[in-house]
Structure formats: structure tokens, C-alpha cells
Amino acid sequence: MTKLFLSLVCWLSLLGELSATVYSLPPSDSRLLGEPVSYRVESGDYFQAIAEYHDVGLLALIAANPDVDPFLPKVGQRLTIPKQMLLPYAERKGIVINLAELRLYYFPPGEQLVYVFPVGIGRQGLSTPEVVSYIGEKRKDPVWRPTQAMRARYFDEHGVELAKEIPAGPNNPFGQYAMRIGTSEYLIHGTNQRMGIGMRASSGCIRMYEPDIEWLFNNVHKGTQVRIINQAIKMSYERDGQKLIEVHRPLSEQGALSMDTLSPAVSRFIGEEPQHQQQLAELIKQPNGIVVPLQ
């Protein structure tokens, strides 16, 4: 067994221990978190295991390494692990979920830290809504009661009736922990399908790896603010004069990014420099989710 596989087995067995990436908050005039991280592929590695080991989303890992086969990466290849990022444009408070980058940020009160987790979100046609809300309920070992719409959709897709109630246990799609967003039907919860993390795979809820949701559940209080946003392009003017940008693939229902549909804020940030415009055009053509300086 590879070193990565053995480490992954140990990591998955330590439920409840912190597996998020923890960053010191930058000053208010900066948004940059972390440093570039790389990983050398070993025999037997594949992207899902690498993503879980580094606690990043699968699609984020694929986007950061577009020239690597995610199923059969070559031994010795050097992968970019997307652990460096820019904070999204949102108040540094409570929970912030950026749909476009499939990440959840948690800003604990009274601490100059931010905890970052990969998440799964609603698939096309069942989009996770953009809202400002709060944690309205916390439940350990939740019972899953699929809505009538879910049951109808399941019958249409599979030709069999879905149970009206799934008790806690290995067959429960909520995993062991769930936190309700306000009074809505949307939850932040665990999962019994790890492949859905870092992807659009849910019916609208926010999915997390089990160690991640257990830690968040134990550290987030009822009433904590939850802000769900959708920012495919993140930018930062840094103290050293650098202009940094991070581009993600937009959600499919928003349509493709283009230089003709940039927001005024992005247009002002890029400016009139032809090389900066060309650089953004290339990032829009192939978003990689990597922080890059405009040069």
C-alpha cells in the first residue's frame, strides 16, 4: 500500500479530529491565504484519495491539474494542491459558503483564524440558494425524511419508491451530523457518499466529509450567521503592490464567463493593460482556481 493510502486510512479513522485547513486571517487590506502546495504522485495514487488526504474538493484538484489524468496519474508527476486562495468578498463572520469554488469558510468569533473546508452543493436544476441566514438547528444522528419532490424524482429515475424515512446509520445520506440553515429545508451535513464532496451532487444541501462536519458541528453554535454567495472570480490588491486573481468555473446555469460580461469591479481591477486582459482571457477560457498575479 502507498504511503498516501496508509495516511488516508489513518485520517479517516480519526473522526472528530480537525482536518480543515486553518489559516491566520490576513490584515483587512489583504485577502491572500496560504502558500502554494505540491504533491508528488506515488504508485497507486488516484485523485479522489489525494483530494481526501489534503482535504480539498475533487473538482478543484482536477481544475488545478488539467494536464493530469485524474484516474491514472503518472508516478512522479508533481500535482498542484489548491490550498492557497483568496478570501471571497464577504464579511469575515460566521460561515461563508462560496458556491463557485465549492468551499466553506468558518470565522470563529474572537479569533484571527479562518477554517476552510471543501463542500458538495446542489446539482444543476437543484441549485443551492444564495442567502444570508443562520444555523437554526443542530442534530446528531439525524433521520432523513426525503421531501415529496425528492421521492417523486427518485421514482422517476429508478422506478421504485424511496422510503419516507431513513434512520441514522450507514444508509443515511446525512451522515452523523446535520445543521439546518435557518428554518429552511437546506442543511449543512455529512454524507455516506464521499465522492460528492467538492462536486455538484446534492439536492441543494451542503455536503461535507464526516471529519469536517463533526468538527464544525462541535464548534459552531446555533444562531451563527450563514452567508451563501456565488463568486467565480476573486481578486485582491496586496500590500506589496501585487494584484492577485483567482478564477473558478461558474455554475452551469450562470453560463460561461466571458470578457464581454465582466462585472464593473472585475473590469476596474484588470484595467486597460493589454497583457492583464489577455491573462484574464486565458484564465476564463480554462479556469484553474489557482491564485495568480497579474503580470
Q: Which of 158, 189, 221, 276 is catalytic?
A: 189
- Phi then psi dihedrals of residue 214, to 5 deg: -65, -45
User: In this structure, what DSSP letter does residue 120 have?
Assistant: B
| Dihedral (CA of 219, 224, 229, 231) sign | negative
What's the CA gap between 120 and 200, in Å, rounded?
6
Residue 10 annotated in active site: no
Phi-psi region of 76 (alpha: psi -120 to 50; beta: other; left: phi over 0): left
Q: Which of 10, 54, 158, 205 is catalytic?
A: 205
- Nearby residues of 99 by Cβ (< 8 Å), 6 or more positions away: 121, 127, 128, 130, 228, 229, 230, 251
From 229, 227, 213, select the one nearest 138 (Cα to Cα). 213
User: How many Cα atoms are found within 13 Å in the side-chain-facing hemisphere of 111?
Assistant: 12
User: In this structure, what DSSP letter does residue 73 have?
Assistant: P
- Phi then psi dihedrals of residue 61, to 5 deg: -65, -40
End-to-end CA distance of the chain: 43
User: Could you give the C-alpha distances from 117 to 64, 67, 269, in angstroms and in order?
Assistant: 17, 25, 28
Residues listed for the chain = 295
Residue 221 annotated in active site: no
What's the CA gap between 1 and 73, in Å, rounded?
16
Give catalytic residues, as residue numbers. 189, 205
